[in-house]
Amino acid sequence: MKRTMYPQQRIHQDCLAEVYKEMVEAVGIESMLKLYPLLRGQQINFPVRLYAKDKVSMKISQEYNGKNVHVLSREYGYSSRWVQKMIKEHQELEEAREFRRGSLMDDGRK
């Protein structure tokens, strides 16, 4: 692990750049000093949503029981309409896969 450039006891928190002050408030001085050498000089943009859409879509399709659209939408922070759309898309993909499997099976029997 890399050593930080500044030992903790020498940090003048009143002189920190605003973003580092905010980090200290959020995660503490020690964690900020660990992140500093990794992130300094970088422009970072965080997504508005915590979860990745493709991963949530897959989880929703696995957890959907035919009646829990509203529960899933609240749990993952997406609208019910979006959840329904993901379920429909997943079902259509599954149907297409099943159709292809059936077509391949039929071709093999001829």
Q: Which residues lie closer than 8 Å to 20 by C-beta, 6 or more apart?
A: 32, 36
Q: Which residues lie closer than 8 Å to 81 by C-beta, 6 or more apart?
A: none
Whether the CA torsion 33, 39, 44, 50 is positive or negative: it is negative
Coil, strand or helix: which one is 105? helix
pTM of the model: 0.60
For 47-88, the DSSP string reads -SSSS-HHHHHHHHHHH--SS-HHHHHHHHT--HHHHHHHHH
Residues 27-75 have pLDDT tens digits of: 999 999 999 999 999 998 989 888 899 999 999 999 999 999 999 999 9
Q: Are 84 and 64 in contact (CB under 8 A)?
A: no
pLDDT the model gives residue 110: 52
Q: Is 104 exposed, middle or buried (0-12, 13-18, 19+ CB in 10 A)?
A: exposed
